[in-house]
């Protein structure tokens, strides 16, 4: 990972991070197929991770507190199954008014402020993720596609 990627993830806005990823993708002359997938996928993930970062409520896919948003944490959440779990965790947290499904202490979880899930939800539903029932699977082809997108993003960071 490039040192500038760490600095960007630490404090930049969603659009600044997505712009950097898009510029790197363009510089590499990747297939238009990937160009159409990478920016929307990154934007969907960052639309929830940046608010968590800004409120000091970041956690990893195992629910453990994380000090800062790093390219590695971003890539961990880019796993399509993990991203689906994150969406449901935040949906339930929005309903409860506190952050759920983490090992963060009670006082910290109470600081949670509702996160807008519209962008993430729209993205997931476009790829056949059922947003009503967490336990329904999505097509394996969509998982494989997003593994490819994650690999492309990883090569850019």
Going from N- to C-terminal start, the domains of the chain cover 3-156
Q: What is the mean pLDDT of residues 38-57?
A: 97
Q: Where residue 146 falls among pLDDT bands split at 50, 70, 90?
A: confident
Report the chain's mean pLDDT, rounded to a whole number: 94
pLDDT, residue 139, reads 80
Q: What is the mean pLDDT of residues 52-71?
A: 97
Q: What share of the chain in percent tops pLDDT 90?
A: 79
- Please state at what angle helix 32-54 crosses helix 140-156, rounded to 10 degrees: 80
pLDDT, residue 123, reads 94
> Which pTM does this prediction carry?
0.93
Burial classification of residue 144, based on how many CB atoms lie within 10 Å of its CB (0-12 exposed, 13-18 middle, 19 or more buried): exposed
Statement: residue 143 has pLDDT above 90: no
Give me 142's structure tokens: 């969509």
Q: What is the mean pLDDT of residues 60-88?
A: 96
């Amino acid at each position: 990972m490039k040192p500038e990627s760490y600095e960007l993830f630490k404090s930049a806005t969603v659009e600044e991070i997505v712009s950097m990823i898009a510029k790197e993708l363009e510089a590499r002359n990747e297939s238009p197929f990937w160009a159409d997938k990478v920016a929307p996928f990154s934007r969907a993930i960052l639309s929830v991770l940046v608010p968590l970062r800004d409120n000091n409520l970041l956690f990893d896919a195992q629910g453990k507190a994380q000090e800062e948003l790093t390219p590695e944490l971003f890539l961990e959440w880019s796993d399509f199954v993990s991203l689906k779990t994150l969406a449901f965790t935040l949906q339930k947290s929005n309903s409860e008014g506190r952050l759920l499904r983490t090992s963060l202490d009670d006082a910290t979880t109470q600081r949670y402020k509702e996160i807008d899930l519209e962008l993430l939800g729209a993205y997931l539903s476009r790829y056949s993720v059922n947003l009503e029932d967490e336990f329904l699977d999505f097509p394996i082809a969509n998982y494989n596609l997003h593994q490819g997108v994650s690999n492309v993003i990883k090569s850019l960071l």
